[in-house]
Amino acid sequence: MNLEPSIEQVALREQLHDYFTDLRRGPFADLQREDHGPRYRDWMRQLGADGWLGIGWPTEYGGQGRPYVDQFIFFDEAMRCGVPVPMISLNTVGPTLMKYGSDEQRSTFLPPILRGEIDFAIGYSEPDAGTDLAAVRTRARRDGDVYIVDGAKVFTSRGGTADYVWLAARTDPDSVDHRGLSVLIVDTTDPGYSATPIRTLASYDTYSTYYDGVRVPVTHRVGEENDGWRLITTQLNYERVAMASFGGLARTLYEEVLDW
């Protein structure tokens, strides 16, 4: 197997490097890699307007239909250049919605993701469960055409700035382990939703998030009720691939030391 990048892939990386560099020298000179505030919103919309967010998405969903390697190069070069990208929305939630979402959900969420208009957070880990997703206790009780959600999550990256949370909740109160879970798309403007920051030693803020009677339309449940485990594992598999980028690591730990 030849793992050397092709001529086209090298050219794409160089094009992206020049693109990110020009924006950093121009209108986004003050942008930081971990910035998720107003400047990040402007940045996302700029990437969307220039067509870069859909580089690896299928054309049927508004993308360019390029190979997934090209999507990886986009993300990796962004890390090298120290600029943020909507990785969760673009590389994990979007592809999972393509596979399991309804037609209404695809039309509601996929185009705005590609335009850089909405951002997602992932609501999985809980204070008493940590990374044991089979121990989720956040409850979603169905009441007609909505779910009433009560519970708490921890280490929700972008939980204080995202528009929506891709939430794992227990819809069958009598279930155990990975059975009886569903995935809900929670609107963070709901009055029952709140978030408090967790300051880390790495200068990266994550959040504790709270759900106090949050109302979620049944139409925002992805897939079948109590069948959320396959969606959770699918999203996590996409996330593991996306997080395999070492561009930022190479830049911060190798190139800066070499420059020094």
Catalytic residues: 239
State the Cα–Cα distance between residues 198 and 235, nearest whole angstrom: 24
Q: Residue 216: how many CB atoms within 10 A of its CB?
A: 24
**In b/e form, how buried is each residue of 126-149, taking b as 16+ CB within 10 angstroms?**
beebeeebeebebbbeeeeebbbb
According to DSSP, residue 128 is labeled T
Token code pair at residue 112:
């705005």
| CA terminus-to-terminus distance, the chain | 36
Token code pair at residue 47:
């990437």
Amino acid at 246: F
State the Cα–Cα distance between residues 32 and 46, nearest whole angstrom: 15
Are the C-beta atoms of residues 13 and 77 closer than 8 Å to each other? yes
Q: Residue 8: how many CB atoms within 10 A of its CB?
A: 11
Task: Determine the 3-state secondary structure of 18 from DSSP.
Answer: helix
Amino acid at 210: Y
State the Cα–Cα distance between residues 123 and 51, nearest whole angstrom: 28
